[in-house]
Amino acid sequence: MAAREPSRYLARGLPRTFVPSARSQAFLNRRNVSDEAPARRLSDQLEDLETASSLTTSVSESAASSFDPIARSKTRKTQLPRGRYQFRSPKYDRGPLHPHQPPAPSDPSSRLFVPGPFALPRAEQTYNSTVASDILTLCYVHTPPGFKPPPKAPRLREWDDSSPYHKNRPLRGPRGGDVLRLLRKPIKFNNIPKIERITLHSYVKEAAQDNSGWLHVAGIAVQAISNVRVETFKSKASVANWSLVPGRDTVAVKAELQGENMYHFLGKLIDVVLPRLKDWPGVKGSSGDSSGNITFGLEPEQMALFPEIEVNYDMYPPKMIPGCHITLHTTAKADKDARLLLSAMGIPFYGKIVQ
Amino acid sequence: MRSLSPALASLANVFRIPMSLTPARPSVTRVCHETLSRRTQPGPITSAVQTASFSSTSSLAKRSEGRPGVDKRITLIRYFLHHPLTPRPLRFSRNRYLRHWTIHRAWQLFQAKQRNTQQLELQRQYQSMQAACEELRTGAGDGGRLFRKSMNKKGIFTDLIPIEYGRMQTEFPSAEGWNHEWKKIEKK
């Protein structure tokens, strides 16, 4: 009965829309600038609907008499779960051998379930429609068919067997240090660099000297601009001037942004905050960890330009608004590719561009 | 409120019996409003929740006279930072669960198809670039001069993309469309 009601209302209400009345016509013909072209009006769309109700069809007597859901459910071997089936995800992780396992995070009964996405961010659209193919074109290097690149020297060198002690030693590291750099492959259609995640990190040394209020204000400011719950970190270094003791003082907050949050944050940063910074030359050309991650910092007064803080500026103690470091992690294997990607997205660089 | 005898009042103070009629757990808006409205008055509050039930005692006011007060805004920030915002997991009936599952699967499929089309489009662009370059190299008849010029990568990774062009997509194109008089800004 309850399932029938909406369609009955629809069947009753539909003819009413076709009755011409001055008011409804005026309302239907009104169009805003943001609307699409008036190719399809509401009345046109309503004509597509069938006016005949499906509820008037008669059911044959034999089908009605043989309809017995209870008997049918009894013939089932395994019963369906109850109509009000309520699976409770376990509150604590008891290990892989426990019979009560949590469901997949996409399951709405999971405790990790996050609804969404709710929007298609502009930064993501720009990347997919413009930036990806631009980078592909800019970085294209032609190799004739059948071309084979000459073999390179191995990245880990052998020991020259000048000493008997070289036997069974692990291979030598690369020249000029022990750091084994990432391997940069030529950029093709399947490895165009893209932004992977963004990390906001804020180190508040006053949290160790003064009180925890500094850390709380920093945490809620970072949360407000990133839409992500922050993690806190204890100090690792020992600085006598700041009265820092390793492992005792909680001094830093960090938020990791991915997916929709990340693109929204990037859009705000590029469109709202960075253009309003006074005398800001851009990100330093030598920034980066030589594996495709670029970091720059924002001062406290620059953090206050984020719209979430700006509209609510009175609710933060002004001297306690933190600065932060923003790390843009990209899938590029070298900094130069990451810089090309970020400059295509609208982040300026200044100074000598270090490769 | 009914006035109590001083003896009863002091006993209530000792046993922490609230003498006002305010509820024990105040609502968020009321906490915010109360705390902010009290900003002009001197004297700190120790906790937004605590002040509501028993605060106006003389002993507490006396004790905190010497210390500098906590900023009310920090108190509020602490209240909201530690507020348990995580709701319990959703519990759906069978039909709603199936509906959710169907929509979820359809959305995943749609996204996979979209990613696939984007990837194929990029692959198509790459292959046509490859074909064009090969044609330029062998069939243009200028000894590969144009091909060599087209492969010149000078300045791509040092000059980067001009900041005027590194901008987000907008809903509509700009009024003048394409600026033919544009010249690269000289760096100082």
* Residues belonging to chain A: 355
Condensed to tens digits (0 to 9), the pLDDT of residues B134-169 reads 999 998 888 889 999 999 999 999 989 998 888 898
- Phi (first) and psi of residue A235, to 5 degrees: -75, 145
- Closest partner residue to A142 (CB to CB) among B89, B133, B158 is B133
d(CA A228, CA B57): 40
Determine, yes or no, domain membership for A315: yes
The predicted pLDDT at position A32 comes to: 63
Share of residues in chain B with pLDDT > 70 (%) = 68
| Structural domain boundaries in chain B | 6-81, 94-152
Cβ contact B94–A82 (<8 Å):
yes
Give me the mean pLDDT over the A201-223 stretch: 94
Q: Is B78 on the interface with A (CB under 8 A)?
A: yes
Q: Is the pLDDT of residue A185 over 80?
A: yes
Please give the tally of structural domains in chain A.
1
d(CA A214, CA A207): 5
pLDDT band at B64 (very low <50, low <70, confident <90, very high): low
| Helix (H) or strand (E) segment spanning residue B82 | none
Condensed to tens digits (0 to 9), the pLDDT of residues A127-143 reads 999 999 999 999 999 99
The predicted pLDDT at position B88 comes to: 76
Q: Is A79 on the interface with B (CB under 8 A)?
A: no
Give me the mean pLDDT over the A292-312 stretch: 96
Measure in Å the smallest separation between the Cα of A61 and chain B Cα atoms: 29
- Of the candidate ranges A9-23, A154-168, A295-309, the one whose mean pLDDT is the lowest: A9-23
Q: Are A347 and B166 in contact (CB under 8 A)?
A: yes
Question: What tokens does A253 get?
Answer: 């907050």
**Which CATH number is A259's domain given?**
3.30.1440.10
Chain A: residue whose CA lies nearest to B71: A317
pLDDT band at A4 (very low <50, low <70, confident <90, very high): very low
Determine, yes or no, domain membership for A302: yes
d(CA A269, CA A272): 6
The predicted pLDDT at position B116 comes to: 97
- If you average pLDDT over every residue of chain A, what do you get? 87
Q: Is the pLDDT of residue A5 over 60?
A: no
Determine, yes or no, domain membership for A334: yes
Condensed to tens digits (0 to 9), the pLDDT of residues A320-353 reads 999 999 999 999 999 999 999 999 999 999 998 8
Q: Is the pLDDT of residue A2 over 60?
A: no
- Closest partner residue to B158 (CB to CB) among A145, A216, A353 is A353
Q: Is B185 on the interface with A (CB under 8 A)?
A: no
Cα–Cα separations (whole angstroms), residue A233 to A92, A226, A249, A250, A251: 23, 18, 9, 6, 6
The predicted pLDDT at position A93 comes to: 87
Share of residues in chain A with pLDDT > 90 (%) = 61
Which of A70-79, A182-191, B175-184 has maximum average pLDDT?
A: A182-191
Q: Tell me the pairing of strands A349-350 and A283-284.
A: parallel
The predicted pLDDT at position A34 comes to: 61
The number of beta carbons lying within 10 Å of the beta carbon of residue B80 is 17
Q: Is B99 on the interface with A (CB under 8 A)?
A: no
Q: Does ipTM come in above 0.85?
A: no
pLDDT band at A3 (very low <50, low <70, confident <90, very high): very low
- Domain housing A274: 195-350
Condensed to tens digits (0 to 9), the pLDDT of residues A158-175 reads 998 899 999 999 999 888
- If you average pLDDT over every residue of chain B, what do you get? 78
Per residue, what are the HEC states of chain A? CCCCHHHHHHHHHHHHHHCCCHHHHHHHHCCCCCCCCCCCCHHHHHHHCCCCCHHHCCCCHHHHHHCCHHHHHHHCCCCCCCCCCCCCCCCCCCCCCCCCCCCCCCCCCCCCCCCCCCCCCHHHHHHHHHHHHHHHHHCCCCCCCCCCCCCCCCCCECCCCCCHHHCCCCCECCCCCCCCCCCCCCCCCCCCCCEEEEEEEEECCHHHHCCCHHHHHHHHHHHHHHCCCCEEEECCCCCCCCCCCCCCCEEEEEEEECHHHHHHHHHHHHHHHHHHCCCCCCEECCCCCCCCEEEEEECHHHHCCCHHHHCCHHHCCHHHCCCEEEEEEECCCCHHHHHHHHHHHCCCEECCCCC
pLDDT band at B44 (very low <50, low <70, confident <90, very high): very low
